[in-house]
Structure 1
Amino acid sequence: MLLTVAAVIRLLHTADWHLGAALQGWSREPEHRAALAQLVETARARAVDAVIVAGDIFDSLNPSAEAQRLLYDTLRDLRAACPRATIALLAGNHDPAGRLEAPRALFEIAGVHSVGVITRREGALDLSTHLMPIRDSSGAVGAHLLALPYPRAADLPIAGADVAGSATVWGVRALYREAVDAARAKIGDAPLVLTGHLHVAGGLESEGERRILVGGEHAAPPDIFPADAAYVALGHLHKPQKVGRETIRYSGALIPMSKSEIDYAHGVTIVEIDAVGAATAEHVAFTRSVPHLRLPRQGALAVSEIESALSSLALAPETPDDARPFVYLAVTVDGPAVGLKAEIDAICEKFPVRLVSLAVERPQMSEAPQPAPMRLAERQPRDLFREAFEATHHVAPTEEHLRCFDRLAEEA
């Protein structure tokens, strides 16, 4: 198939929106709307030829009506901002694949390609679903997109008994080899863009990200993607990063999804591909609409220091609830922590913040020599209580604690 010479093709690569997510009960919708507005503006300002959403559009398999509405609002705004761009939605492991497939006929009217599952016809990969052209401003085809969603167990070829190593990784590799071979048979050596919702080995995980390869395997090697792929748009890991080579990349999440992501430069990746398939990538970081603050930046505060630390933030008292910073607090405590959370909540309520994480650190107790093991019948209940208390609270019980235990032991 001959390819009309095209100008540079420009892509916007995004993933891991997690629409409908909450943080300790607080809705993330205001943050999502602000980030998605920046995404739409970036797509318009860069005059992109394609927008690729590489999975985990939603946060759960049963997204709320509000989360679905936010997706549709964003697709409407993207189409208005980029009237001719190819827009592709890929299902991730969080997504309800069927819900992304169901409105396909309506999506097609708007020029949106939604791929929830691997589709086959007569056993072969259905390229009418998975392969789509990307055109430049003149209408010339400059690249093709091979859109593959998160691979589920039923999507993978079954490895034979003679396969060495992981059967799951073998199956993922075989799926991509089949898909690329089929695409190449149709488009020749034209620039080819791949998608993947996987954990690729070498990528840095964030706290709470699921290890998603079926069969208990954790990560696929980057060499499952052929060297002649112009670009590989990945989803699943929330940190913007390359893996293996410059043109295999995670765009990262739109907003922080946990305290381990506070320092990430959340945003989107802009990719340019020339006529011979050489690609360059630039990550565009977004401005956060809601601050995420770790107090202190390192170490931990004494409870008596919390109020001063919050005062130093100089936050406006009239800050609306949905714009108040999320605070991840670390405190150090020497004694029992009974009532600690209520005490800290009362302090935080004086300030326009939302406390979403409380980490309690304790001084390390010196290690005493361990006595020889004793049978339970040889132990005194009071000694067992003392050891359990120290193991739980990292301090010895007071005399009042011991008197209370003695009274309870007598009643028993």
Structure 2
Amino acid sequence: MTVRFFHTSDWHLGQYFHSHSRQFEHEQFLAWLLIQIKEKQPHALLIAGDIFDVINPASAAQKQLYQFLADAHDIAPHMQTLMIAGNHDSGYRIEQVEPLLEKYNAKSVGVIHKNDDGQINLDHLLIPITNEQQKTVALCLALPFLRSSEITGLNEQTTNSQNAIAYVHQQLISEAKQRKTDDQALILMSHAHMQGSETSESERPIIIGNEEALSTALFDDVIDYVALGHLHKPQKVGQTHIRYSGSPLPLSFSEINYKHQIVEVTIDPIQTDESRFTFEPIYIPRPIKLHKIAGELTDVLAQIQTLAEGEITEIDQREFVDIEYFTLVPPPPNLRQHIEEIIPKNRYRIVRIFRKRLVADHQNDAATSVHLEPPTPKKLFQQIWQKQGYSNDDAVLQDFLSLIQEAEKSLEDEHEA
């Protein structure tokens, strides 16, 4: 029996882009996705982790997700929405709303659960996908971001993260093989960093203990499709059926040329060759343009003046501009003011002005950089943390960012009141 589904990931709802909200852009993406669902009527929608941008998402971000699930259920009531937690998500948080999700034919897998005997609860990770006639056409092996504390110490085969990850995959795939019938497909959804994949600067490192990225050898040949999340560039990894769908929005200027997409996948498990599956990228329109302007200062100023004119009334819909210039002499003290005067009015948001002073190679001196934009709380925290002699700790930084977001939410609530 044929199964059809959409592979998506890394929505990052609630993200702030250089202190600017992405709510409008996410609204546009979700509205576009609803159109695709209404037209294609897939059996399932997969969201392979990093649903939210932070572990404590603001109420507006949560509302976006749940409103989307309600709207999707209205236009495609037979479609299942299957979500896993990424490294940005709180696995427990996305599972807490299970009764709500059930009303919208949705399922979330946030953490690895254990049975009374201390072994992995495989039932929680194996989700049937059904067609319009309620017949099971596929099994989804749903693996959230695997945290060491959840999977190590189960037995002598799980003494470290790498061994434990291999053990989890082995146990889950073995159980899926026993349960599937010949006319059912196996789809593995995972949030992980795979060997041989291409990264961008916006992705948070998730490799545990500086160990190597995961190998595709974890995926048995019986798996028909591997739906990956974490990396923002759409790409296949080794084989055509092992893929990252990528993020729906550029999450940094390094992703400005990415062809953001969702992947429409159709699998006929009865077929024995590569004709059993088809992959069709559906490209996502970019709601707000990003402009990267770089070069020698006079050239940068000339490029700025060539930007398109025409006002955009709503501030949160204006285009983003990142400026990086090079000079051997100090910049004029009023440079930012000058740039704001020559850039077309009421159309752009300057998110960064960055100066890199070029130093002759024979001097063996590091190039110095000067940022002219106001420091963000994140940057100030990182600077103070390093000055105190502490090394970079991603968990501490995320805790700090969560506190910032909670404070912002509190201020929003007070304003609304």
Q: TM-score range by the shorter chain?
A: 0.7 to 0.9
8 Å CA contact 2:359–2:367 kept in 1: the answer is no
CA deviation after TM superposition for structure 1 residue 367, in Å? 2.2
- Aligned residue type for 1:286: I
CA deviation after TM superposition for structure 1 residue 356, in Å? 1.6
- Does residue 138 (structure 1) correspond to residue 133 (structure 2)? The answer is yes
**Residue aligning to 1:382:** none
- TM-score of the superposed pair, with normalisation by structure 1: 0.81
Residue 245 of structure 1: which of 231, 239, 248 is its match? 239
Task: State the superposition RMSD in angstroms.
Answer: 2.6
Residue 180 of structure 2: which of 179, 187, 203 is its match? 187
- Aligned residue type for 1:151: L
**Residue aligning to 2:347:** 352
CA deviation after TM superposition for structure 1 residue 40, in Å? 1.7
CA distance in 1, matches of 2:156, 2:141: 30
Q: Give the ranges of 4+ consecutive aligned residues of structure 1 lying more than 6 Å apart after TM superposition.
A: 159-163
**Residue aligning to 1:208:** 202
- Aligned residue type for 2:172: A
Secondary structure class of the residue paired with 1:151: coil
- Structure 1 residues 255-286: Cα deviation after superposition (integer angstroms, max 9, x where no partner): 00001100001121111111327322222111
8 Å CA contact 2:355–2:369 kept in 1: the answer is no
**Residue aligning to 1:262:** 256
Structure 2 unaligned segments of length 5 or more: list them: 371-417
CA deviation after TM superposition for structure 1 residue 360, in Å? 2.2
**Residue aligning to 1:175:** 168
- Aligned residue type for 2:180: I
CA deviation after TM superposition for structure 1 residue 331, in Å? 1.5
CA distance in 1, matches of 2:156, 2:129: 40
**Residue aligning to 2:85:** 91
- TM-score of the superposed pair, with normalisation by structure 2: 0.80
Write the mapping of 1:12-411 to structure 2, written as runs, cut at 5 A: 12-122=6-116, 123-158=118-153, 167-189=160-182, 190-276=184-270, 278-296=276-294, 300-302=295-297, 304-337=298-331, 339=333, 340-348=335-343, 350=345, 352-365=347-360, 367=362, 392=368
CA distance in 2, matches of 1:322, 1:308: 26
8 Å CA contact 1:159–1:167 kept in 2: the answer is no
CA deviation after TM superposition for structure 1 residue 64, in Å? 0.3
- Larger mean CA deviation between 123-132 and 9-18 belongs to 123-132
CA distance in 2, matches of 1:264, 1:281: 18
Structure 1 unaligned segments of length 5 or more: list them: 1-5, 371-386, 395-412
- Larger mean CA deviation between 154-163 and 118-127 belongs to 154-163
Distance 1:218 1:28, change over 3 A: farther
8 Å CA contact 1:101–1:116 kept in 2: the answer is yes
Secondary structure class of the residue paired with 2:196: coil
CA deviation after TM superposition for structure 1 residue 188, in Å? 4.5
Distance 1:105 1:143, change over 3 A: same
8 Å CA contact 1:49–1:85 kept in 2: the answer is yes
- Aligned residue type for 2:197: G
Secondary structure class of the residue paired with 1:75: helix
Distance 1:185 1:155, change over 3 A: farther
**Residue aligning to 2:412:** none
- Structure 1 residues 8-32: Cα deviation after superposition (integer angstroms, max 9, x where no partner): 2111011100111011111001011
Secondary structure class of the residue paired with 1:70: helix
Identical-pair percentage: 33
**Residue aligning to 2:405:** none
CA distance in 2, matches of 1:310, 1:117: 48
CA deviation after TM superposition for structure 1 residue 192, in Å? 0.7
**Residue aligning to 2:413:** none
Alignment coverage as a number of residue pairs: 363
CA deviation after TM superposition for structure 1 residue 183, in Å? 1.9
CA distance in 2, matches of 1:169, 1:269: 29
**Residue aligning to 1:383:** none
The structure with more radius of gyration: 1
Distance 1:101 1:318, change over 3 A: closer
- Larger mean CA deviation between 222-231 and 274-283 belongs to 274-283
CA distance in 2, matches of 1:199, 1:393: 31
CA deviation after TM superposition for structure 1 residue 128, in Å? 3.5
**Residue aligning to 1:380:** none
- Structure 1 residues 9-65: Cα deviation after superposition (integer angstroms, max 9, x where no partner): 111011100111011111001011111111121122111000010100000011000
- Aligned residue type for 2:285: T
CA distance in 2, matches of 1:9, 1:391: 54
CA distance in 2, matches of 1:320, 1:236: 31
Distance 1:191 1:393, change over 3 A: closer
Distance 1:318 1:269, change over 3 A: closer
CA distance in 1, matches of 2:147, 2:3: 31
